[in-house]
Amino acid sequence: MRTPQEMIAYALEIDQALLPFAPALLADLEELGSDAERIVTILKSLNLPTSARVIDLGCGKGAVSIKIAQELGLQVLGIDLFAPFIDHCRAQAASAGVADRCHFRCADVLSAHEVEVGEVAAGEVAIMGALGDVLGPPDQSVGVVRKYVRPSGYMLISDGYLKDNSTAMIAGFENYKQRAETLSCLTAHGDVLIEEFVETPASADEEDEESDLILSRAQSLAQQHPHFAKALLDFAQEQRNENVFLNNNFVSAIWLLRRALT
């Protein structure tokens, strides 16, 4: 069982000692893995009433939550364990003019549904965007997500699977499987897979741009904090390596599921 700090660090693929630097290292990125525009497009096709409530599990810096509130007018609750990100989410929601319908809460999604019974009531949609396997393999993750959504409500999971011919491996991806096995895990609780949206891989230029932004932040932090210089620069390099691994060995997808009645 990981501690909260370990979970945040694992999900952000960062050494725990570097967590205080995470907001600065990731200052140039709002989306931390999910494609907010794609998620909004999928939700839009569901024609939900504006009273519908969406719960964004592990909302990070709030890019997905805020876009949903802005473009679809839905009620959104974003939950994340990392307090600096929750502060950022609230400030961003206020400046986007959606603070009335987009709320954030600093909590562990493994227990937030039960800690204060009723406060996090089930919604019509629960999203798990780019959390990797921090909550466990896909069947366990869906087991957590489905606690936040009403029976026959929707679950949107943004993650991926290994390509059939993939042989390479890097840290953090050891538990990933190929497509068929991943899909059977996703539906292990009897929920229905409505649609799979395979994501177009980012271009090499887009990836380089993101890696360069992180490297530039790591370099300036390394100058201010020489003791952490190596760890900061290693983090930037690992992010670059991961992008290359993902492009060659991984298929990113968003799955739309409908929760079974039980």
Contact residues for ligand SAM (CB under 6 A)?
Answer: 7-8, 11-12, 31-34, 58-60, 63-64, 79-82, 85, 108-110, 129-131, 134
C-alpha 39/C-alpha 84 separation (Å) is 24
Report in angstroms how near the CB of residue 128 gets to ligand SAM at its nearest: 8
Closest to ligand SAM by CB, 33 vs 153, is: 33
Report in angstroms how near the CB of residue 59 gets to ligand SAM at its nearest: 5
Report in angstroms how near the CB of residue 234 gets to ligand SAM at its nearest: 18
Closest to ligand SAM by CB, 33 vs 138, is: 33
Walk across the sheet containing 123-129 and list its strands.
102-106, 75-80, 53-57, 123-129, 149-162, 250-258, 192-198
Report in angstroms how near the CB of residue 223 gets to ligand SAM at its nearest: 26
Closest to ligand SAM by CB, 7 vs 232, is: 7
Report in angstroms how near the CB of residue 120 gets to ligand SAM at its nearest: 12
User: How far, CA to CA in Å, does 54 sit from each of 67, 77, 143, 196?
Assistant: 12, 6, 17, 19
Closest to ligand SAM by CB, 6 vs 195, is: 6
Closest to ligand SAM by CB, 7 vs 215, is: 7
Closest to ligand SAM by CB, 98 vs 192, is: 98
Report in angstroms how near the CB of residue 190 gets to ligand SAM at its nearest: 24
Closest to ligand SAM by CB, 82 vs 228, is: 82
Report in angstroms how near the CB of residue 86 gets to ligand SAM at its nearest: 9
Residue with smallest beta-carbon separation from ligand SAM: 60
Are 258 and 243 in contact by the 8 Å Cβ rule? The answer is no
